[in-house]
Amino acid sequence: MENLTTEVSEGVHITCNASGRHDFIFTFVPVIYACNFLVGVVGNSIVVAVIFRFMKLKTVASVLVLNLAVSDLTFLFTLPLWATFTATGYHWPFGSFLCKASGGLAVFNFYASIFFLTALSVDRYLAVVHPVGSRRHRTPLCARVSCALVWVAALLLSAPAALNRDAHQVKGGANTLCGVLHGGQRRHVLVTFAVLKSVLGFLAPFLIIVTCYCRMGRALLGARGVPRKSTRARGDETLRMLAAAVLAFFVCWAPHQVVYSMDLLAMLEVVTDCRTLDIIDTAMPFSICLAYFNSCVNPVLYGFVGRNFRKNVQRLLRCGPVSGRLHPHTSSRTNTLSQRASKLLHLPSSKKNSERRTNPLEEPKTLQI
């Protein structure tokens, strides 16, 4: 996209007029947006429907996954606007309000999704490594309070993006852009929020997620006295899922963070060469597409992986009645992991808790919500 610099009465001036303007961007990026929209809306809607119909928000995992799906859905419904914006050669015909709202929702989803993914990772870490000691704090009420804090934090952090973004008429052209002006005294404020976005929106959550999964992996790999090979195989399956979650997070967001850092240098006028700016503006929409694809991956990694969840999806698609006989109490994916880990790690527990953890080893249920 173009780099907006100074605001004038007739419109805005663009430093490198042809920067990021290529026919293949106007063709392929809207198609990718459309695919992300369709896959993401269908996947996340199924997650919401299954949790509301069959799981009733009785577990920490179901509360967190539901909020993650709702966060993704709120953003995905803005993708048709961004697809239109790109397909028309970066022309925004929807007015100032939708420009601010769509831009704000994009950043809002950025923070909310990553915070919910981080919360899920911490919950899994507690369930696997400290299943007994964390039982008091891993309750649906605590999960709801945590989700409320995430929504408030995401709203506060995304507010500057919505307030500073607006629809601007290009000087000497017919296009109206939806963007943020970088010039003037606001540059230092925008740079501050950009650095904050990189630290709070990627680096810190990524370090927390990697640390949690490494600790879980080490705990499962170091388990002694595994009773059966099938239990060890289930531990390996859990490790593969955890590795896939970390890899998906990194692959979807790391390229965007690299391009975003380069765009930050351009905002600071460290990079002023039009050829370099063209590379940045060309790479930016594709990195955004990849980052948005994370909203499509989330339902697969955090929902459809669970065997119980897949059965509930089949029941939902068949529109079958809710049977009290099938899964009378829906255990969370993290609860299953904690039960499994307790056996593997020989964690001390009461006789009552030991009896509760017998069935998952007898009849495995992989990564349920």
Would you say how long the chain is, in residues?
369
What type of residue is 194? Answer: A
Range of the domain at 180: 4-361
Q: Which residues of 185-200 are buried (b: 16+ CB within 10 A; e: fewer)?
A: eeeeebeebbeebeee
Among candidate residues 151, 174, 162, the one with its CA nearest the CA of residue 103: 162
Which residues of 176-335 form beta strands (DSSP E)? 176-180
Which whole-number Å values give the CA distances from 43 to 36, 69, 78, 146, 224, in the listed order? 10, 9, 16, 24, 38
In a domain, 295, yes or no: yes
pLDDT tens string, the chain, 369 residues long: the values are 444 443 433 455 566 655 667 888 889 999 999 999 999 999 899 889 988 888 778 788 889 889 989 998 988 999 999 999 999 988 899 999 999 999 999 899 889 988 998 898 888 888 888 888 888 888 889 999 999 999 999 999 999 889 888 888 877 667 888 888 776 667 777 888 888 888 998 899 989 988 988 888 888 777 655 555 555 555 555 566 666 777 887 888 889 889 988 888 887 778 888 888 888 888 988 998 898 888 888 777 766 666 677 788 888 887 655 444 444 343 444 454 445 444 444 444 444 444 444 443 333 344 445
In a domain, 367, yes or no: no
Among candidate residues 38, 61, 21, 80, the one with its CA nearest the CA of residue 293: 38
Question: What pLDDT was estimated at residue 333?
Answer: 45
In a domain, 191, yes or no: yes
What type of residue is 22? Answer: H
Cα 143 to chain centroid, rounded: 17
Which whole-number Å values give the CA distances from 209 to 91, 101, 127, 284, in the listed order? 38, 30, 14, 25
Question: What pLDDT was estimated at residue 52?
Answer: 85
Please say whether the beta carbons of 308 and 368 come within 8 A: yes
Q: Structurally, how many domains does the chain consist of?
A: 1
In a domain, 368, yes or no: no
Among candidate residues 362, 360, 363, 355, the one with its CA nearest the CA of residue 128: 360
In a domain, 308, yes or no: yes
In a domain, 271, yes or no: yes
Question: What pLDDT was estimated at residue 273?
Answer: 82
Please say whether the beta carbons of 295 and 34 come within 8 A: no
Residue 269: count of CB within 10 angstroms of its CB: 12
pTM (predicted TM-score): 0.76
Which residues of the chain form beta strands (DSSP E)? 4-7, 12-14, 165-169, 176-180
In a domain, 366, yes or no: no
Written as six digits, the tokens of 34 are 């459309």
Half-sphere exposure of 303 (CA within 13 A, CB side): 28
What type of residue is 51? Answer: I
In a domain, 352, yes or no: yes
Q: What are phi and psi of 6, to 5 degrees?
A: -110, 145
Largest CA distance in the chain: 78
The enclosing domain of 44 has a CATH number of 1.20.1070.10
Among candidate residues 229, 226, 179, the one with its CA nearest the CA of residue 12: 179
Dist CA 334 CA 244 (whole Å) = 16
